[in-house]
Each structure stands twice: as structure tokens, then as C-alpha cells.
Amino acid sequence: MRVGLFTDTYFPQISGVATSIKTLKTELEKLGHEVFIFTAAEKNIRIDDDPTIIRLPSVPFVAFSERRVVYSGLSSAYKIAKEHHLDIIHTQTEFSVGIFGWMIGKELGIPVVHTYHTHYEDYVHYIAKGRLIRPGMVKYFVRNFLKDCDGVICPSRIVLNILDSYRVKIPKRIIPTGIELEQYKRPEIQEADILALRQELGIASDDTMLLSLSRISYEKNIQAVLRALPEVIAENPKVKCVVVGSGPYLDDLKDLVAALGLDDHVIFTGMIAQEMTAYYYKAADFLVSASTSETQGLTYTESLVSGTPIIAHSNSYLEDLLDCPMFGYLYDDSEGITQAILNAIADTPRMTEECLTHKLYEISSERFALSVYELYIDAIISKEYQVSTSPFALDGKKKYTHIKLMRNTFGVPSTLVRTTAQTSVRVLKTPKLLVDRIRTVSLRDRDSDD
């Protein structure tokens, strides 16, 4: 099978979405499939060494300067997709490259499935401080994007519930993102290595190390963990918290630590190398999180693979994941994180090999890829049936008009388009250029086919 993954974010950008896409590509290729990634060009990366990664011209997005938005390259992407005879397109983001994927899939008459990764209602405050887009507007955008897709992957029960509440009607399937177990099992990491890292961080062997590992932004709610620490330390002075990562809220957290007098109990490391994350997981006694914005959270599964239990705010995803007391402790708002930390330290049993082995298979990248492949097969069969029975079918191929295509392209609020255009005038021209270019390229290809 030949698969096209269309995404606005990919490495070297660091995010859960990028990790999920790389994992899927790697595992599908192990199964013998061809996988092409269509994504935004980075500032210093126009062409990858890997020819299956196609970079399209982009500029920084107005609200997230570290993220990119593609403004051109639709005709090139269409040609590449057509030349490689893609069987299916899998979009991973809902913006420029995701729209490209949807348009190309419809023009080629192949299925388009989507993974809904991000709960945008928690992020609209980044755009004009929430004055431009309200949380209640998100459902209309998402519903419009998904309505003509052939299926959507929900990484968790949380996402399924969100899309149901948005009245998304297309087929939905829960498929949690798997992880490459060997990156975090790491049997070569010895007890001496763990002790050396703890000593480097200033954490004694009898201290309880809490680990926060994520992008440091307001919605991650690391501040709630820090505010809980004074009461925790009053009960258990051997508790220390290591905050790994960087982001726009880092300075605020440092100020909070100083204000709370926690300088001897909180260690900020900044960004660390990817290969070092397993060391930090294994050195920690618990991964701790107070975030309520996660639809999945790969750090949770990474921590379990490393053998480290979790303390986190309860949600339906984590209730499914932490189905055994040894995997960690969940709390709700009525209890609070202070008591949760103290209870977890006192009551969490040690992990057993039997339970952990079963859990590792559940969250493995191999199982993830097989589940996604099964969805691809179902989508292809369903598409072939729809085409064969459609009154618009001609010689077994469905001919698409551009009326619906244009309507969906302009489904994004015009105010959002204008705001994005502040980054680059070229972005403002994108919607019309999208339609014009794909019309020109597809008509030229059809004429040549005739």
C-alpha cells in the first residue's frame, strides 16, 4: 500500500503529533508499505535526505512562531501524489497541509482519513488573546473539515466524546498512538547511570523525584503542581520536582518557584536530547501532570514503558490506560493534587512483570500501525463501493466538481485568514491559489490522459 501523510508539523519540530507521525511511518514501512510525508519546509530545511519526505514552502504562523503554515506547493504535491499512485491519504492537521491532502485525495478519487490530535478549544487564547476565535467556534471548523473525510482516528475516548459532541457524522475509530518500546525500555541503562543522573540533579537516593516532562505552556498546568508542593513538602520534605522542557511559560514558572520559596525543591533542566528522556523517566519515582488539555499524552505511555508510574488528573483516556494500581494514581478536582501526590507515594505498589508486559503490547507501535492499516483497508473498500454505486461514476472513477472543494476551502473564518496574512502577504492569497492551481494541474493531467 502507498500512503500519503499530510501534516503541518513534523520534525525537527518537537511535538506529540510529529512523534506519532514518525512512529506510524516507521511501523508501516516495517510492514512493507510505502509512506510519503508531505509537510512544511523548515527555516533551515528545504530538502530532506529522505526522498519520501516532501517539504512545501512555508512561513511562521502568526500565533505560534515555532510552527509553520504552507502557502504554496499544491501543484507539486498533487503531481507527486499522482506519480506515486497513492492508495490513501491520511491527514494529521486541519490547516494548510491538511487542506492540501483533502483536496488532492478528492481529486485523485482516493480515500482521505484524518487523525484528530488536538483539542483546539484549549488553545484559541493564543490567537489575538482569544478575541478573534472563541472556543465555541471550534466545533464548526472541525465539523466542516471532517464532513467529507472517509473516517477519523480518535487517539482516545476523550477525542471520540469531543467529536460526538461536535456532531461529526463520519466513521470514527479509537486508535491510541503507540510508541517504540525499545526507545524507553533501554535495558542498557544501569542503576549506576540512574544514580549518576539523580546526583547531577541534586537528588539523593532516598528523595522522591517527581518528573514533569512536556512543552512548558500555560495549558500544561505545571503551575498547579508547583503550587501544591509547599503542602506536600510540609508532610514529606524529601520530595523534589524536576521540570524538563522549554516553552513560553518557563519564566513564569521560575518566578512562581521563587515566590513560593521552592528553589531547593524544584529543578529546571531546559530541553534535553531525545535519547536522554529514558534516563529521566527511569530516574524518576513518578511522572506528574495536572494538565486537563491532553487528548492522549505520549509522555504517559513513555513513562510506563520506562517502568515509572504516573500521578495525573483523571480523564477517560487515563482511566483506560492506568487500569492497574501499580501504573499510578489519578485524582479529580474534589481531592486535589496535594493529597494525590502524598497518597501515590504511600500506596502505589511496585510494578509486576506480568501486568507490565500485557500493557506494553497494548501501547506498542506495532499494534498501533496494524490498527491504522486495518482502518485504511476498510476506508478503501468503502470508497470503492461508493464509487461503483455512485450515479456520478464514469468508467469506475468518480469525477469531482470544484464547487464543494471551493466551499470547503473557504470554510475557515475570513477573520482568521486575515490574521494569518499578517505573517506574509502570500498567505492571504493562498485560498484562491489553492483552487486555481489544482484546477489547472488536474485539467492538464486529464487532457494528457485522454
pTM: 0.76
Q: What is the mean pLDDT of the chain?
A: 85
Rounded mean pLDDT, 179-198: 95
Q: Where in the chain is the domain with CATH 3.40.50.2000?
A: 2-178+364-449, 182-353
Tell me what the mean pLDDT of segment 254-268 comes to. 98
How confident is residue 172, by pLDDT bands cut at 50, 70 and 90? very high
| DSSP labels, 119-157 | -GGGTGGGSGGGTSS-GGGHHHHHHHHHTTSSEEEESSH
Residue 237 CB burial class (10 angstroms; 0-12, 13-18, ≥19): exposed
The band of 96, judged by pLDDT with boundaries at 50, 70 and 90, is very high
pLDDT of 412 reads: 40
Contact 268, 226 (CB under 8 A): no
Inter-residue contact 146 to 114 (CB < 8 Å): yes
Rounded to whole angstroms, the Cα distance separating 351 from 187 reads 16
Residues 25, 444: Cα–Cα separation, whole Å: 32
- Please state, in angstroms and rounded to a whole number, the distance separating the CA atoms of residues 407 and 410: 5
Average of pLDDT values for 212-234?
95
Q: Determine how many CB atoms are found less than 10 A away from the CB of residue 338.
A: 19
| 274 contacts: CB under 8 Å, gap ≥ 6 | none
Instruction: Write out the DSSP string of 356-384.
Output: HHHHHHHTBHHHHHHHHHHHHHHHHHHHH
Q: What are the tens digits of pLDDT across the range 385-408? A: 887 776 655 444 444 443 344 334
pLDDT for 293 equals 76
**CATH architecture of structural domain 2-178+364-449:** 3-Layer(aba) Sandwich (3.40)
Residues 158-187, mean pLDDT to the nearest whole number: 94
- Report residue 402 as a C-alpha cell: 470544484
- Could you tell me which CATH class the domain 182-353 is placed in? alpha beta
pLDDT of res. 447: 54
Range 301-319 average pLDDT:
94
Residue with cell 494500581: 325
Percent of the chain residues past pLDDT 90, beyond the cut: 68
* Region 330-344 average pLDDT: 89
pLDDT of 438 strictly over 60: no
Would the pLDDT of 421 be above 80? no
Radius of gyration of the CA atoms of the chain, in A: 23
